[in-house]
Structures are given as C-alpha cells and as structure tokens.
Structure 1
Amino acid sequence: MITFSQRVLNAQYKLNETEEAIIEYINAHREAVSHMTISKLAEATFVAPNAITRLCHKLNYDGFVALKLALRDTKASSVPDTPGAQRQREVIERNFELIDQKREENVIEALQNAKKVLFFAVGETSYVAHNFAYIFNAVDQKTQFVTYENQIIYEINHDHNLVIFCISQSGETHQVLRVAEAAKAGGQQLISLTGLHHNSLAMLADMALYSYSPHRTWQGYNFTDKTPLFIVMNALFDDYFAAIV
C-alpha cells in the first residue's frame, strides 16, 4: 500500500488547517503515535477524537488503527525489486488507491465548463497526453493535444476559459513548467498529472492528480513505467464520459 506521507500528499487539496496540524504532530512523533490510543492523540493535538477519525477517512484509512499500522509498516514505501507480474500488480494496486472520487468530480466539472481543453507534455509522456486528448475530443469536440510550447502559450494568452492539462512524471520538466506558469499568469485553469512526490508542477496546479510509478533508469535510459498514467487517466475518462454522454 502507499505510505502515510504519500496519502497525505494525495489528499492535500481537501485537508483543513486542523488536520494539517494533526499531521504535523504525527510526522514529528511517528513512533509514539503508532502506539497511542485515539484519545491520547486527540489530547496531544487539542482536538476531539472524531477529528482524528475524519482525518483517517480523508486519507482513505478505515480508521485510526489502520493509520497506526501504516506508521509501523516500513515496507509500504517499496515494491518488490524483482521485475515481473508481482511488481506490476503492486504498482497497479497502489495507483487504484490514489483515485479520489471527489477530486475526479472537481476535475470533470472544470473540463465540462471549459471552452477548450489543451493537453501538453513532452518526450515519451507526450504519447499519453496525445492519446487522451484524442479520446476526450471524441466525446466533447473541444479537446486537443498541443505539440509546441510556444503554440500553447500563444493560445493561453489570446483565448479565455481554457483548461490546460499538463502531464509530467517528474513534475519538473522545463517546457511543461513554462506552460504551467503561463497558464497561471493568464488566469487559465491548470490541471496536472505527475508522479507521487512533491514537485513544482503539482504546486502550480489548481487541481493536482498523482500516479505512482517508481523511477527506473539504466545506462542513461529512463524506464519509468507509463502504465500508471494510463490507469489514472482511464479512470478519469470513464467518469467524464458517463457525465456528458
């Protein structure tokens, strides 16, 4: 399963100040919290026990016991070193854990209300963006993949009510960040899909989607699996299709 910290990052958009303070305390006292009762943690963080329970549910835990077990599980952050079916299965399962219905609804509403939706990515990730721009356009006739950053920046600066959908596993790709910054400066809505880690693109985005795919390189080649991007985007497309057809 994904770690406590990864769950926090994935749920960041819906956390309030009280919940962020509880998380800060947990991060500072992980070992102690992993053996506390819910009442003791509530007392230590000056909240009612039901506030702890609500936080657990926002992080997609069944309850406080599940959260404590996650804090003790040092193996949760890794997947099997041996490539093959078991490794793929665990990566895929973690991506399904990241799919958040409320966030999907927010993204779908933005896509529906936009005059035009422009996808942008570079390198191998551009195949993912191009594929989904094509199938989204098949049902809404307003979505397209833009190949060149100067072209999409021109549209950002000369049109209105756009959704700019940027995909980058690292979240640090220079060309993608340039487009994202232009979208923010131009008052356009920005949606990002990145790897599950803190990154510049997700921080810029109005709505940040995440996928889990361990970074893999060999002799200078990037072998990071793109399948998780397809999982997240397929789930989003299915719900979008159901909403508009």
Structure 2
Amino acid sequence: MGSSSETGRGNDVIAGAYGGGPMPEPGMAGPVLAYTSIRAWIVEGRLRPGDRLIEQRIAAELKLSRTPVREAVRMLAADGLVVTERNRGAVVRTLQRQDILDLYELRARLESYASELAATRATEDDLGAIDEGIRDFGRAMRRRDLGHLDRTRLIGEANRRVHAAIIAASRHTRLAHLLSSAVDAPLVFEALREFSNRQLERSNLFHQLIRDTIARGEPVRAAQLMHEHIMLGRDQILADLDAE
C-alpha cells in the first residue's frame, strides 16, 4: 500500500456518477439549477425513460427562462441521459436489456481495475475516506424516520463516496474519467431503491471486504470482489426489467 498523502482526483471526476449527487440549492445559477434539477428527476425516476423534456413546462416549474433549461438539456445529452428524437425533441434515454448488460460489464471491468490499482497505491487518507462512506451507508440504512426516496438518496450519496474514494485511490486520472461515462446513475439509483434491507447490508459488506483487501495490499482479490459487487446491482436491475 502506498504511503503518499497525495489526493487523487477520482472523487471530483465521478462526483455525480452514482446517483447520489447534489440536490438543487437556493441561489444556484440558472443553467446549474436546471441541470441539477432535471438530472435528479431522471436519476430518481420522476422522469422515466422515453418521457419528453418540455422546456416550457420545466422552465415554469423552476421559475427560469427557457434559455438555461435548453442549456441544461444539452449538458444532459452530453452525459448520455437525454437523446434527441425526430418529431419528439429531447427525451429521457431508454436502455434495452443488452445496453444494461454492456454498461455493467464495462463498469465492472473498469472499476475492478481501479480496485486492483488501489490495493497497491492507497494511502491512509484514502482508507479513511472509504471508511467514512461505509459508515454513512450503514447509518443511512438504519434511518427509519425518512421516507423511502429520502432514505435512498442518503444511501446513494454514501455509496457514491465509497466508490469515488476507491477510484481516487487508484491514482489513475484517465480511468476515473472513463468511469464517469461508464457508471449509469439512474441504474445505480434504481438498484439501490429496489434493494431489500438484507441486500443493502450485503452491498455494504462488500464495501468493507473490498476496503480490507485494499488495506492488505491484495490487488487480485480486491478486483474480484468489486466485480462481484457490481454484478449484484446488475442482477437487481435485470430482475426488475424481467418483472415488468
């Protein structure tokens, strides 16, 4: 395990990738408010795949002009969350079963490699960041004073921090950028929302096991555990798809 205290950039690169990104706050600039709001609606399922993004309605709801909303839609299209269809305009992207399989396979391979690298490069500060995410994931699971959506938001944010800290510990900036595209935020959030308490506990157990193998400097085992962990999320999404 590395001893440098240098901070990796993975946390910044994939800040919103896991579906636990920031919620809109008062005082945000127009395009940022529009982007953050619409993205949250897509990630959390208020806007479903295939739904049209009607700029006039969104602008009215957010009390903005159509210009920042239009800019936000362009940003969401660059993120891959929105596509433009003939005669319909901007719509929330739809994924087929093979798309989901491909996305999760790519993510699993990239993030397994990040875990492998982290096992040889992680610092004590990196391990501390992973530990904080694991702790907050556990706390969020035990919250019974929140509605399901608010609880999932907390779990999603903690989950994001665990994975971002592992990726940061890899010290591989290009890999972090690739993962920012490979991780599909709506799918991650949907899986976490549909997980039972037992599945959530198992997910956080994987976080702990991966963290411990990184701390012990076991790159092969860390990669194997991360791959299995990500595939559990994929299996939940596919089960939901089959049920529909």
In the superposition, the TM-score normalised over structure 1's length comes to 0.33
Structure richer in helix, relative to its length: 2
Structure richer in strand, relative to its length: 1
The structure with the larger Rg is 1
In the superposition, the TM-score normalised over structure 2's length comes to 0.33
